[in-house]
């Protein structure tokens, strides 16, 4: 599966469960109702945080955000609010989950279903709100990709 190029996202939860995790196991599920899914390992801090919060956001990263992707993938980073030190973000209006500055787009979701399979859970979220960066994006609208163990970008 390492040969399959994927977009890179940062999944976030807000409130007292404040947490973020880099993820490339993310996709659209349905247009009616608008919904998405992400897959999270059972042992991940995000698994507990997302299950407890019941709402989450997905930040779709631009080509210039590899540093953020690496930061939120680092298992040695601090947990809780401290992991956001030095990261520009604002709370989502519908979820309170961090929306990261500079992202190409954001999707805020309510957790609708969770399906455990193997060592992961597939979380399905119904979209509550979505937006994309206005105007000319600093990355020129190019998305961050991950393929063959390396970061790249579209375009």
- Tokens at 60, concatenated: 């779709």
- pLDDT for 120-153, tens place per residue? 999 999 999 999 876 545 656 788 988 888 878 8
6-145: CATH topology? Pnp Oxidase; Chain A (2.30.110)
Please give the Cα distance from 17 to 50 (Å, whole number). 8
Domain spans, the chain:
6-145
Q: What is the CA radius of gyration of the chain?
A: 14
Q: With a threshold of 0.95, does the pTM exceed it? A: no
| pLDDT score of 26 | 95
Q: Can you tell me the mean pLDDT for 23-43?
A: 96
- The DSSP secondary structure of 67-126, one letter per residue, reads HHHHHHH-TTSPPGGGGGTT--EEE-TTT--EEETT-SEEEEEEEEEEEEETTEEEEEEE
């Amino acid at each position: 599966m390492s040969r399959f190029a994927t977009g890179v996202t940062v999944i976030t939860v807000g409130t007292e469960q404040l947490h973020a995790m880099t993820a490339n196991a993310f996709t659209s599920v349905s247009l009616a109702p608008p919904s998405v899914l992400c897959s999270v390992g059972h042992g991940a801090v995000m698994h507990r945080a997302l299950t407890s919060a019941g709402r989450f956001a997905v930040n779709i990263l631009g080509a210039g955000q590899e540093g953020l992707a690496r930061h939120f993938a680092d298992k040695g980073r601090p947990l809780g609010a401290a992991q956001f030190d030095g990261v520009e973000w604002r709370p989502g209006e519908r979820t309170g989950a961090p929306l990261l500055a500079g992202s190409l787009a954001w999707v805020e979701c309510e957790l609708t279903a969770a399906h455990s399979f193997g060592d992961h859970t597939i979380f399905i979220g119904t979209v509550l709100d979505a937006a994309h960066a206005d105007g000319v994006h600093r990355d020129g609208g190019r998305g961050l990709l991950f393929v063959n163990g390396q970061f790249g970008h579209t375009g």
